[in-house]
A and B are shown apart, each in its own frame.
Chain A
Amino acid sequence: MFGNLSDRLVETFKNLRSKGKLTASDIDATLREIRRALLEADVALEVVKNFIAAVRERALGDEVSKALNPAQQVVQIVQEELVTILGGSQRQLQFAKNPPTVIMLAGLQGSGKTTLAGKLAKWLKDQNQTPLLVACDLQRPNAVNQLQVIGERVGVPVFAPEEGNGKGNPVAVAKDAIKFAKQKQYSVVLIDTAGRLGIDEEMMQQAKDIRKATEPDEVLFVIDSMIGQDAVNVAKAFEDGVGIDGVVLTKLDGDARGGAALSVAQVTGKPIIFASTGEGVDAFEPFYPDRMASRILDMGDILTLIEQAQKSFDEAEAKAMAEKMAKDAFTLEDFLEQMQQLRKMGSLKSMLGMMPGAGKLKSQLENFDEKEIDRTEAIILSMTPKERKDPKILNGSRRLRIAKGSGMTVTDVNGLVNRFEQAAKIMKTMAKGGNPGIPGMPQGMGAMPRPQAKKDKNKKKAKSGNPAKRAAEISGIQLPKDEGSGSAFGL
C-alpha cells in the first residue's frame, strides 16, 4: 500500500536516463506520479491540484533545465514546496502579556482534544507555568470525568463545575473559568471543548460564543492525521466558524501518511504548532514541517529514489565522459575539474567522522592529500585557456612561465603534464573498450589515492551538491546506520 511512489518515479526516471534535458511531458509524467502519491496520502484534491501546478511552473524553469540531474531536481522541488507550505508560518505557542494565557481547543468528535489537553497541561507545567484545565465538553458522556482523571494524572487542577453528559452551559463554564483563573493566578487556562461537526451550525455558534466569552490567545484546531479529503471542508468550517490561530495534528504515531496536514496548512494558512504522537501524557512534540513532508511523500523511499536517480545520472555522465575521451577531447580543464571535485570530498573528511556508516569511506580518504590538489590547481590555473585545452603546445618557455606564475618548479609542471597525459591515455583506452564504469578520475597520479568505483560515486555526489544529503537535511530524518547500502555519506 505504501511506498509505491518511489518505484513508480524510478520507473519514470529510467526513461529519462538517456536524455540530458527534461521535456514538459517528462515533467508531467513525474508530476502525475507525485499527484497520485499525494492523493494516496490523503492530501485534498484541490490542494493537490494547486500544488502540482506550482511545482510544474518551477520545474519548467531554469533551475531544472540547468540541473545536473533534472529528474531528481523535480523531486527536490516537490520536497521544498511541501516544506514551505507545511512550515511557511511555523511558530511557537503565543503567551499573553498579562496572564492568564487562554488556550481553547476545538475540533471534530474523536480528534483527540481531551487527551491533548492533558499533554499540553503537562508540557506547560514542565515549563514552570501554572495551567488550569477547563472542562467545557459537557456533551460527550463522561468527557468531564475523563478530563478530571487526566488532570489528576498530570497534576494539573481541573475547573469542572458541571458534570456534563448533556447538562450545563459550556459558555458559562468557560467564562467562570477565566474569572477563577485570574483570582487564583493561574498562568494558562486550557479550555477543552466538545467535539463538533463543521456543518453543525448550532454547535459552531456555541464554539464562537466560547471564544467571545474568553478571548483566547490561541484557538488551537485539533485534527486527526488520519482524516481524508474532508479535511479541507472541516478546516474551512472551523476557520470561518470559530477562527483558528494554530493547528495540532494528532495520532501521528499511527501509520497514516497525514496528507491532511498539507490540506489544513494550505487552506487555513495557519501554522501547525504541535504533533500528538501517542496516548501517554508525554507523547507530544513540536511540529516538524520537514519530517511531515518526508512522511507525506514517504521520504525513506525518496532517498532510495534519489540514490537510484543518481546512479543513472552517474552512468550517463560516465558515458558522456567516455565519448569525450574517444574523441580525444579530454583537456586539462576536465582534469582540474575532477581534481576539484576530489577536494570537495576531502574537505568532507572531517564531517564524515560525525556520520554513521561512513567509516569505510573515511579510511579511504585518510591517505588523500589535499595539498596535492592545491598544487595541481595552481599550475593549471596559471595556464592560458588555450594551453589547458591543448597541452601539446606546452613548450619549455611556456612551462617556465607557468612554474613561475604558480610558484612551483618546472619539474612540478612537467610531472603534472606527464600525469595528465598518462591519465588521458588510460581513459581513452577504457573509453574505447566501452567500459561503462569508467572512473571519472584519471589513474596513476603520484600522491593521489587510486580511485575506486565506490569513491567515484561519492565524488559525483559531491559534485551535484549531494542532493541526497540535502534532502535528508531538509527532511530532518535520521541517517540510517546501514553501512552496506553502498550509498554515500551513510545515506
Chain B
Amino acid sequence: MFWRKKSKEDGSPQVQEVELPKRNLTKSIKSIFSRIKFDLEDLGSLEDVLIQADFGVDAAEEIVQELTSIAKKQGLSTEADLKNALKDLLIAKISRTDSALNLDSDQSPNVILVVGVNGAGKTTTIGKLAHYLVSGGAKLTLGAADTFRAAAVEQLATWATRSNAELVGPRTEGQDPAAVAYEAVEAGISNQSDIVIIDTAGRLQNKQGLMDELGKIRRSIEKQAPINEVLLVLDATTGQNALSQAKAFTEVSNVTGIVLTKLDGSAKGGIVYAIQQQLDIPVKLIGVGEGIDDFGFFEPSEFVLGLLGESE
C-alpha cells in the first residue's frame, strides 16, 4: 500500500510505502482442517469442515467436487497431494486483482463510505484505517453520519483523536445523516483532506427505510465528490446471512469492497468465499482486534493458509 507523503519543505510530493503491521492470520484463524482425513473416496469430512467454516453447503459441495475432479485429472491420491491441491484451488478462487483500496493520491479528496449492519465493526475499522492512512502522510477527515445510535458520534470522535484525523459531526442532535455526510465532504474539500471517511449507523438490510437512507447519503456525498470506495463491514462470525447483507447493501449503495472483521475470534469467515463468487465483490480489509493496529489488507494466501493451519 502506497500513500504519497507530502514533503514539508517545498510542497512537492514524495512516495513512501507504509508497511501494514504484520498480522499472523495463520494463528488467528485457527485451523480446523487439521482433523480432516483427505481421502479421495470420501471427502465428506472436508465438506463438513468447509461448512463449519461458514462456506455454506453449496460452496462446500462445489469445492469438494472441484477438488475431486482436479485430483482425478492429475492423478493425485496421497493426503499431502490432496491438501496441496485444495490449498491451490482455494487460493486461486479467492484471489482477485481488485482487492487493493481504490485510492488515488492525485485526487482530493478521496471519499470512502462505510456501511454495514449493527455492531459489525464499522466505527472501529474507520479508526484503524484512519490511523494507518494518517501515519502514511495523508490528511484525513472523518464524518460522523451515525446520528442515530447513542454516543456513536463520541465513539468516532475518540478514534479521530487517536488517529489524528479531523472530525465533522452533526451540528444538532439527530441531524439528517445525509446532511452530515455532505458537510463532512465539504469540510474535507476546504481543509484539503486527502481522504474523507464517512461512518454510518448500523442498519439491518431488511429495513427498507434505513436502506433508502443510505442511498440518500450516497447521493448527497456525490454532489460534492465522487465516491472511491463503499466498504461493507462484515463480522466474520456472521453465517449465511452475510450473503443477504452483501446483496442488499450492494443494491442500495453499490458496495465496492468488503471489510471482514473479528477474524481474531474463532470464526473463520468462510462466507466471504460465496460473496466473492456470487456477487463479485472483493474482500479488501480485515479486522483482527480492537486495537488501533489490529487490521490488515486481505491476503488470500494468508487467509487460506490460516484455514488450513499452515504457515508460509
Contacts and interface: CB of A to CB of B under 8 A. Distances in A.
Interface of A: 1, 36, 39-42, 44-45, 108-112, 139-143, 145-146, 148-150, 153, 165, 197-199, 224, 226-231, 233-234, 237, 251, 253-257, 259-260, 279
Nearest to B123: A141
Nearest to B61: A36
Given A145-B155, A228-B238, 7 more contacts: A39-B57, A40-B56, A42-B240, A45-B52, A141-B123, A254-B205, A256-B240
With a 10 A CB-CB cut-off, give which of A44, A226, A234 has the most chain B CB atoms.
A226
B151 A224 contact: no
Nearest to A259: B239
Interface in B88-120: 117-120
Contacts of B56: 39-40
Which of A108, A111, A228, A251: most chain B Cβ within 10 A?
A228
A142 B149 CA distance: 12
A1 B237 contact: no
B150 A227 contact: no
B159 A141 contact: yes
Most B CB within 10 A of own CB, among A44, A143, A254, A259: A254
A226 B158 contact: no
A254 B206 contact: yes
A255 B265 contact: no
A333 to B, nearest CB: 49
Given A1-B243, A255-B206, A228 B237 contact: yes
B268 A226 contact: no
Interface string B14-42: 00000000000000001000000000000
Contacts of B237: 108, 224, 227-228, 230, 234
B83 interface: no
A206 to B, nearest CB: 14
B278 to A, nearest CB: 10
A110 B155 CA distance: 14
B159 A228 contact: no
A255 B241 contact: yes
B53 interface: yes
A39 B240 CA distance: 9
Contacts of B118: 110, 112, 251, 279
Contacts of A199: 30, 265-266
A145 B148 contact: no
Interface residues of B, number: 46
A255 B204 contact: yes
B293 interface: no
B235 A110 contact: yes
B7 interface: no
Given A109-B290, A149-B150, A40 B57 contact: yes
Residue with the greatest number of chain B CB neighbours at <10 A, chosen from A140, A142, A146: A142
A45 B264 CA distance: 22
A151 to B, nearest CB: 9
B310 interface: no
Interface string B221-253: 000000000000001011111111000000000
Given A229-B51, A279-B149, A40 B266 contact: no
A7 B251 CA distance: 27
Interface in B64-86: none
A330 to B, nearest CB: 49
Contacts of A224: 119, 235, 237-238
B241 A42 contact: yes
6 contacts: A1-B243, A142-B151, A148-B151, A165-B158, A228-B240, A256-B240
Q: Which of A40, A149, A255: most chain B Cβ within 10 A?
A: A255
Contacts of B131: none
A193 B78 CA distance: 49
Contacts of A255: 204-206, 241, 244
Contacts of B282: none
B204 A251 contact: yes
B271 interface: yes
B119 A111 contact: yes
Contacts of B205: 254-255
Contacts of B53: 229
B239 A227 contact: yes
Nearest to A152: B150
B154 interface: yes
Interface in B147-173: 148-152, 154-155, 157-159
A227 B238 contact: yes
A197 B159 contact: no
Interface in B139-153: 148-152
B176 interface: no
B302 interface: no
B267 interface: yes
A143 B152 CA distance: 9
A254 B57 CA distance: 22
B266 A36 contact: no
Given A145-B154, A149-B151, A153-B150, A229 B204 contact: no
